[in-house]
Amino acid sequence: MKVINFRRLLTWIIIAGLPVIVVLATTNDKPLLYSKEKETVAGFIWQSPDTSRIPYTDAGMLIRYGRELIANTATYLGPKGTVAHLTNGMNCQNCHLDAGTKTWGNNYSAVFSTYPRFRERSGTIENIYKRINDCIDRSLNGHVLDTTTREMKAIAAYINWLGQNVPKNIKPWGAGIRDITFMDRPADPVKGRIVFIQKCQRCHGAGGQGLSGSDSMNYIYPPLWGNNSYNTGAGLFRLSRFAGYVKDNMPFDAPSNSAPLTDEEAWDVAAFVNSQPRPQKDYNKDYPNVAGKPFDHPYGPFRDNFSEEQHKYGPFEPIRSLKIKSN
């Protein structure tokens, strides 16, 4: 009879455990499995389904049109759009990279699996149409799409198709935007301006206005502030969303083996960009339950005694730990 070799067994246990440790380490401070607002982070690695498999049926054509609308929103719905003039000239893809498929590029892998769901911002259960219109209203500073339009149906069909293999209530690793480590000081717009000049300005422009293509219909480089940018009710106006997004995705042309922005650079440039002028919207009705405001929602009233300034720029750890304690 073969004697069990314990050293070998131990080696195998360690090797088998490694991927789990890697996932744990890279999901930041979130445990492998956690439940919050019906979300579950699991060791589920998502791969975008193959677009060449979309059938040439009516349903398939709707999915293809949805993908096209995400990638080239302005062509159809922008100020010079061929279907309607509803949005500010940006594309969904500017913020949901590779048509919403890039790991940590604000991808859509968790939408089909987690909607409809309750969201604190509206205080209601939102379906996918409502969530899409939220981004049209805020990120594209536009007028919402009627849910009966072919455009809305197409966008929803594409996003649902992307998430078709994700089990219900599962949020795959790499979905959305990463939470980066907090700093123990406020994010600094003055330092952020230097980061912007060194690492962003050559594409997004000295005035943050971006660069229009020769057809003046679509941007080559989208704006970061000013009249044509996202408004103050948008997700990117929250510092953690902006910092997390740029940390993993900007500068856009950075080779994958180059050093990313440091966390400090990401927080500071977020503070700089989000202290520049942009369209204001009255979102007084957001977060009807004050206790449900995220730590970096920059408008009072708050349940805690931290200032609007601290809710906007940090340091965020004291706000978050108090929130966890009192929830």
Indicate whether 221 belongs to the interface with ligand HEC (CB under 6 A): yes
Of 73 and 310, the one with the shorter C-beta distance to ligand HEC is 73
- On the 0-12 / 13-18 / 19+ scale of CB atoms within 10 A, 278 is buried
Of 10 and 46, the one with the shorter C-beta distance to ligand HEC is 46
Q: Choose one: 41-49, 171-179, 302-310, 316-324; the region binding ligand HEC (CB under 6 A).
A: 171-179
Tell me how far apart the alpha carbons of residues 32 and 21 are, in angstroms, rounded to a whole number: 10
Residue 235 has which token pair? 């997700």
Q: What angle do CA 108, 111, 117 make, to 5 degrees?
A: 150
Indicate whether 199 belongs to the interface with ligand HEC (CB under 6 A): yes
Neighbours of 124 (CB within 10 A): 12
For ligand HEC, the binding residues in 65-104 under the rule CB under 6 A are 70, 73, 90-97
Of 253 and 282, the one with the shorter C-beta distance to ligand HEC is 253
Q: Choose one: 26-34, 180-188, 249-257, 306-314; the region binding ligand HEC (CB under 6 A).
A: 249-257
Candidates 62, 166, 269, 271: give the one binding ligand HEC (CB under 6 A).
269
Indicate whether 139 belongs to the interface with ligand HEC (CB under 6 A): yes
| Helix or strand holding residue 112 (H, E) | helix 111-114
Candidates 72, 106, 228, 310: give the one binding ligand HEC (CB under 6 A).
106
- On the 0-12 / 13-18 / 19+ scale of CB atoms within 10 A, 253 is exposed
Choose among 138, 152, 140: nearest CA to 90: 140
Q: What are phi and psi of 107, to 5 degrees?
A: -80, 165
Binding site for ligand HEC (CB under 6 A): 70, 73, 90-97, 106, 108, 110-111, 131-132, 135-136, 139-140, 155, 159, 175-177, 195, 199-200, 202-204, 221-224, 230, 234-236, 241, 245-246, 250-253, 261, 269
